[in-house]
Amino acid sequence: MQLTRPDLARILERSVAERPTADLAWLDAPPVRARVLRERVVLGPDASVAVTADALFGWRIHRGAGLLVASTGPAAVGATVVQALRTGPLWFAAPCRVLDTVHEPDRAGFTYATLPHHPETGVESFRVLREDGRLVFEIHAVARHDFWGSRILPRIAHRIQDRVTRGYLVTARGQDGG
């Protein structure tokens, strides 16, 4: 947390050498005191897996949610991304590492885990998939508060997470005329 816009390039450089603070197992077996978030939206009739996945892997869905983004490249296993968000006068930087990806004709997406200096510890999965003839964008996140401010004021932390999640969903819905 800081009062000035974070230097994402510097944080990214530092974060590349860091190890994730959570792993994929959290999605199936959340730790005690973790918040589990599952959200999904049906995409428009003209939506396609390829177009939505391209926006997702290129971080455009994250940028569309209002985040500043610096990354080592598109979302791929081992890629590091640093996202920043301004809330009131405060800036928060959130470094993450991509742990897995899926590239299939009817399903695409990735999961990343937090790195040290992220306000939370957890994992978040983003998927676009064809289901019952419809295209769906879904988010599954499991996290617990690590930042002292989040632990003291969890409702505010949840509101910030919910705001960003809504931004992801709205942006994904708008990718292909939805």
Q: Report pLDDT digits (tens) over 45-61.
A: 888 999 999 999 999 99
Instruction: Report which residue type is found at 137.
Output: F
* Residue 90: per-residue pLDDT: 86
| pLDDT in the model for residue 34 | 93
What pLDDT score does 161 carry? 86
pLDDT of 9 higher than 60: yes
Could you tell me the two tokens for 16? 């590349």
> pLDDT confidence of 148, banded at 50, 70, 90?
low
Indicate the Cα dihedral angle 144, 124, 61, 139, nearest 10°. Answer: -100
Name the superfamily (CATH) of residues 8-173: START domain (3.30.530.20)
Is 64 a residue whose pLDDT tops 70?
yes
3-state SS assignment for residue 24? coil
pLDDT band of 3, cuts 50, 70, 90? confident
pLDDT tens track for 10-50: 999 999 999 999 999 999 999 998 999 999 999 988 889 99
- Alpha carbon distance 142, 168 (integer Å): 16
Do 34 and 21 form a contact (C-beta atoms < 8 A)? Answer: no
The pair of three-digit structure tokens given for residue 65, joined into one six-digit string: 């949610």
Which residues, other chains included, contact 135 with Cβ-Cβ below 8 Å and sequence gap of 6+? Answer: 42, 43, 47, 48, 49, 52, 128, 129
**Contact (CB, 8 A) for 83 and 108:** no
pLDDT value of residue 82: 98
pLDDT at 143 over 50: yes
105-118 mean pLDDT: 96
When the pLDDT of each residue in the chain is averaged and rounded to a whole number, the result is: 92
CA of 145: how far to CAs of 2, 61, 86, in Å?
17, 24, 18
Delimit the domains of the chain by residue range: 8-173
| Cβ proximity of 47 and 175 under 8 Å | yes
Question: Do 43 and 138 contact (CB within 8 A), yes or no?
Answer: no
